[in-house]
Structure 1
Amino acid sequence: MSGVLLLATMLVPLLMLAACLSAGARRAMPRLLWLAPLPGVAAALFAIDMPPVVLDPNRLRFTLELGRPAALLLGVAALLWSAAGAYAAAYLDRGLATERFACWWLLTMAGSLGVFAAGDLVTFYLAFAMVSLSAYGLVIHDRTARAWRAGSIYLLLAVLGEIFLLLGFAVLAVASPGDSIAIAEVTAALPVSPWHGATIALLILGFGLKAGMVPLHVWLPLAHPAAPMPASAVLSGAIVKAGIIGLIRFLPWDAGGPVLGEALVVMGFATAFYGVAIGVTQANPKTVLAYSSVSQMGVVMAALGAGLAAGQAAAPMDAAFYASHHVLAKGACFLAVGVGYAAGRRGMAWVMVPVLLLVLSFGGFPLTGGALAKAAVKDQLGYGLLGTLSAISAGGTTLLMLHFARRLAAGMEEGGTWPAAGLWLPWLGLTLSAMAIPWVLFAQVGSFAEALTPAAIWKAVWPMAIGAALVPLLGRLPAVPEGDVLIPAERAFHRAAGPLGRAADGLERVLNCWPQAGLALVLLLLAFGWALA
């Protein structure tokens, strides 16, 4: 039964995509998108820690398995994909563009959920490539100049990340003593590999790029504002978690690693603080949320690094719990932007009350899901210098998310009508899930008695109070362009490259044509798969 659920997690979206070859099915598909992730929810509940499922064991050996951290992330990611799929059916207009969006959506979803269930290098790489490259179609959906630019930069960085991972996986396979390419076996051999340092660097670059690690984060603040609202929700909530599950699955947890762990802590907190510093200068609420995701993924990386440095076997599960709250709450925040704009000032109170609960949850307000998420990583980030940095990060997160709430409220126009049920029901359901599901699952990673003590509550409240007190100062900050470090890099490139820069512009114009871009995407994915198989 577990094998059927794991297979269905990837195959159901792909079979629905194949059904789109029929014009009738293609027209109906946008209304059915919410169904495709449901096998992933079932797998997360019933296929945990079961023996691996191996397909074609004598040749390709595609392997599917589901550990506890991956199951947690798979379950919440599938819930987000389902809610966002229902939202997309009401949000997008009918027509060929929406049908095309549904095809890209299903292909991206198959990869996004597949990375959590993959048990060997080939399966993981194919799923990772599928989610990375197919998301390009979601980013460029609106076909505006902004969307084309964001899509081109996203695709360039996605291919770069695939190259890093392909090289890292190749070295992992070569260094493994046997002929197995199961993830558990190749990572067990990593500590004694003669290419240990180079392999780790390649893996961190590949996974860190997807997770938004600074300075490889620039695709998030460009892609999120350009993509349609439901696509932004899954880009920020679910797709970045492909990088997090990669770090969880491929870091050498059994062997430990003080140096590697400390380096991850530094990179993680640098990313967390940078995301806040740039995010508070943004005016577009979707861009603010993008930089918030950069910051939050930095905290997850810091927790993983601290756990690795201390040899804590529970760190992957703790970090996965923290990331799972982000999946639901950040997805709900993105959907709230569309609901708020539709409701206008007439419905502001009905929208902003749940939004403020989500905002405070990110800061770690007591009794919210975010408070439990922060309690889950207490063993990694709750003491000493790391505890101080974590408290500063919580204050910064509060400041940034309150800034998001202000920008959302400012964007609501006079009047407005109550949004269609297809918009507000998925959003409200996701919001309630972000509040309730951490309470259901927290016993797996922590103690309610410890999380609800007066000392723990005070420890959570005072950084948030400082962050809230700084909100009035935000209006005085200079604006930073979306993409931040990419802007001077582009200018320097164009000044120095001359003809090369003009050739790159020409290539971008070619990629902006749908048939060429779509064909290039499919060919890249097939080439990567053929090379690995």
Structure 2
Amino acid sequence: MTLDIPWLLFGSSFRLDEVSGPLVAVATVLYAVALVASRDRPLRAFLLVSYLGNIGVYLAADIISFYLAFAVMSFAAVGLVIHTRTEAAHRATGVYLVMTVLSETALLAGLWLTGAAGGTLIDDAPAAIASSDHRGLIVALLLVGFGVKAGLVPLHVWLPLAHPAAPPAASAVLSGVMVKAGIVGWLLFLPTGVDDLARVLLVLSLIGAFGAPLIGVLQTDPKVILAYSTISQLGFLGAVIAAGLLVPEASVTAAVVVYAVHHGLAKAALFLGVPVWQAAAPGARRRLAAAGLGWAGLALVGFPFTSGALAKYDAKYAVEDHWVALVLPLVATGSALLLVRFAWALRRVEPEPRGVDGELIGWLTLCVFGLALPLVHAHPAPAPDTLWDMLWPLLLAAPLGWWLWRRGEQEPPVPAGDLVVVGERALAATRATGGAGLERVHGVTRGVAKQWARTWRGAGGLTERSVEGLESRVRVWTLSGLVTLVLLGTLLALGWWM
């Protein structure tokens, strides 16, 4: 279904198809839940604007509408991150803004070159990019532009800072649907035939998929742990897309969409489940919270008969002709370890019991949709070998998870934000070293300035004395000249009279 709006921008087109339909549906559910869970009117306003941009990204059929929607979504999210106005929120917002400006700049340049190559409609964009003389540059710009939202290493650094700073409802939509805009951008725009850059995407995605759990399991904040889980899951999707570019006969679009829908519901339920768990008093309500969080966690790691099992099954078999299919199941091992750490961190949260509120209602809604998803996207009962493929990564995680649980609370050797923290420390060291060096330079320049001042004062005195002497001589010369003129005039007068 296509809708053309000639009077909007330069003529906008929107469409609802097999890619945009499921993503718009899950975005609508998650934003509706976030609105129900939010009590602050400013937060609701930013959620509504973000929703408009988010579904615009999914529905846009031309690159101008796509870019406008992407920019609206990206900058409206600033209001979600900074909402609490804490020091952590201000820091996270600063990092997010820097990364967003980088993303928007790269994306604008990439889409401008795409349009110049004849790809003004999204359906025509991959072919236009593939035939462009600037193909490599365009793909590199799109990798960066979409990579910020998709949490591609090393552009992922805003995620572990923004999620704990934002309210839980905002974190649910940030991780559930907003980051998928980057994944959808890669899916829609990247052409085949750029194998070198596709391999770059594959390597960076796998680094995120397997590296994020290594940092996440060291954290103590539940929302930070979930943020690193999101980076890992996005790395999984990036690897699937890259494999699809390297093996053109592989059809990865449907698998990526199914996985995005599954991850959106499960991860939003986990984020929103943090305040639900905190608000649940010991008893039936806490057991309900534990059951819902447990089911969302099992879905996220791909436990059999959950939405995650179906999504991972589709993704693995979509890229079975590429070697990456052999390592993708191990992502579930990292996810399981992160969720063990999440459960440990959640137990440390101080309870603040309260009555039924919007957060609980919204969270229960997400749990119902998550339970129903396997029924909507039904598969035949898995064969024993398929069941084993789903279970062995989780069994591998069991002893490591036990060790993590026993490890307990320790100061994370790698703070949330990882590369940002490294950059901040390097900048501070540079500032300290540079400050000392600058002070030494200032000392030298001050000494030179004093010496020059003394020299100029001496030169000035000499000049002043010379000028005064010259003036004296000039005054003498002037007087002598006047006397001479008077004498000459007198002599001339006497000569004329005689």
Same fold (TM over 0.5): yes
Specify the alignment match of 2:274 in structure 1: 337
Q: What SS does the aligned partner of 1:460 have?
A: helix
Count of matched residue positions in the alignment of Structure 1 and Structure 2: 430
Corresponding letter in the other structure for 1:296: Q
Match of 1:409 in 2: 347
Q: Which position in structure 2 is the counterpart of 1:239?
A: 178
The answer for the alignment partner of 1:29 in structure 2 is: none
Counterpart secondary structure, 1:417: coil
Which residue does 2:15 correspond to in 1? 65
Question: Relative to structure 1, is the Cα distance of residues 192 and 409 closer, same or farther in structure 2, using a 3 angstrom cutoff?
Answer: same
Question: What are the Cα deviations for residues 406-436 of structure 1, in whole angstroms up to 9, with x where unaligned?
Answer: 21122143xx535414222210110121221
Aligned to 1:490: 424
Is the 1:121–1:183 contact (alpha carbons within 8 Å) kept by the matching residues of 2? yes
Q: CA deviation at 1:312?
A: 3.4
Deviations 1:353-392 (A, max 9, x none): 1111111111111001110010111224557742331122
Superposed, 1:380-395 pairs within 5 Å as: 380-382=318-320, 385-395=323-333
Select the residue among 8, 24, 29 that pairs with 1:74: 24
Please give the alpha-carbon distance, in whole angstroms, between the structure 2 residues aligned to 1:160 and 1:343: 41
Counterpart in the other structure of 1:229: 168
Indicate the larger mover: 279-288 or 57-66.
57-66
Aligned to 1:68, the other structure's residue is in SS state coil
Contact 2:37 2:357 in 1 (8 A): no
Q: Distance in 1 between matches of 2:208 and 2:400?
A: 21
Q: Are residue 457 (structure 1) and residue 387 (structure 2) matched?
A: yes
Query: Taking structure 1 as reference, are residues 498 and 249 closer, same or farther at Cα in structure 2, changes over 3 Å only?
Result: farther
User: Are the counterparts in 2 of residues 258 and 310 from structure 1 also a CA contact under 8 Å?
Assistant: no
Q: Which residue of 2 aligns with 1:435?
A: 371
Over 3 Å counting, the alpha-carbon distance change for 1:500 and 1:145 in structure 2 is farther
**Cα distance in 1 for residues equivalent to 2:393 and 2:350:** 29
Letter of the 2:29 counterpart: L
Gapped regions of structure 1 (runs ≥ 5) = 1-49, 93-97, 443-447, 502-533
Distance 2:330 2:232 in 1: 12
Q: Which residue of structure 1 lines up, in the alignment, with residue 470 of structure 2?
A: none
* Farther off after superposition, 99-108 or 147-156: 99-108
Q: Are residues 67 and 313 of structure 1, via their aligned partners in 2, closer, same or farther at CA, if it must alter by over 3 Å?
A: farther
Deviation at 1:222, TM superposition (A): 0.3
SS in 1 for 2:19: helix
CA distance in 2, matches of 1:234, 1:294: 15
TM-score scaled to structure 2, two decimals? Answer: 0.82
Residue 70 of structure 1 aligns with an amino acid whose one-letter code is S
Partner of 2:6: 56
2:205 counterpart (263, 268, 281) = 268
Distance 2:158 2:174 in 1: 10
Q: Secondary structure of the residue that 2:293 maps to in structure 1?
A: helix
Aligned position for 1:504: none
- Deviation track 1:173-200 (CA, whole Å, cap 9, x = no partner) reads 1122xxx611112322111110000000
Q: 1:157 aligns with which of 81, 99, 104?
A: 99
Is residue 119–residue 182 contact of structure 1 (8 Å, CA) maintained in 2? yes
**Cα distance, 1:262 vs structure 2:** 3.1
Partner residue in 2 for 1:126: 68
Q: Which is further off, 312-321 or 124-133?
A: 312-321
Residue 332 and residue 491 in structure 1: after superposition, are their counterparts in 2 closer, same or farther (change >3 A)? Answer: same
Once residues 207 and 180 of structure 2 are traced to their aligned partners in structure 1, the CA distance between those partners, rounded to angstroms, is 19
In structure 2, the partner of 1:290 is: 227
Asked whether the 8 Å contact 2:299–2:306 carries over to 1, the reply is yes
Distance 1:119 1:500, change over 3 A: farther
Matches within 5 A, 1:161-310: 161-176=103-118, 181-252=120-191, 255-310=192-247
Contact between 2:333 and 2:394, CA under 8 Å: does it hold in 1? yes
Identical amino acids, percent of aligned pairs: 38
Is 2:274 the partner of 1:324?
Answer: no
Matched, 1:470 2:400: yes
How far, CA to CA, are the matches of 1:248 and 1:385 in structure 2? 20
- For residues 359 and 134 of structure 1, do their structure 2 counterparts lie closer, same or farther at Cα, with a shift above 3 Å needed? same
User: Quick one: which amino acid aligns to residue 73 of structure 2?
Assistant: V
* Secondary structure of the structure 2 residue equivalent to 1:283: coil
Measure, in 2, the Cα distance between the counterparts of 1:307 and 1:373.
16
Q: How does 1:342-353 map to 2 (within 5 A)?
A: 342-346=279-283, 347-353=285-291
Larger Rg: 2
TM-score, structure 1 normalization: 0.77
Query: Residue 107 of structure 1 is aligned with which of 49, 54, 64?
Result: 49
Contact 2:305 2:374 in 1 (8 A): no
- For residues 477-501 of structure 1, the C-alpha deviation after alignment (integer angstroms, 9 at most, x for no partner) is 7612110111111121233357999
CA distance in 1, matches of 2:355, 2:203: 44
CA distance, structure 2, for counterparts of residue 160 and residue 310 of structure 1:
30
Given candidates 251, 254, 269, the residue that maps to 1:314 is 251
C-alpha distance 499-422 of structure 1, shift in aligned 2 (>3 A): same
The 3 A distance-change label for structure 1 pair 65 and 221 is same
Deviation of 1:289 (Å): 0.5
Q: Specify every segment of 5 or more residues in structure 2 that has no aligned partner in the other structure, as ranges.
A: 436-498
